[in-house]
Amino acid sequence: MEHAIIREKQIKKWRRAWKLDLIEQTNTDWLDLAVDLGFSPLG
């Protein structure tokens, strides 16, 4: 849990372009990953 909080704080400081790059590296099709966790899709 502590590691996740530290990582979240790091990412929040990043520029938007860096965040988009991170997403595109791991989720190239921009799938709504919340659906896999049982949440309703956004939009």
pLDDT digits (tens, 9 = 90+) for 16-37: 999 999 889 988 988 888 888 8
What's the maximum distance between 2 C-alpha atoms anywhere in the chain? 31
Residue 4 has pLDDT above 80, yes or no: yes
CA distance 15 to 1: 24
Residue 43's pLDDT is what? 65
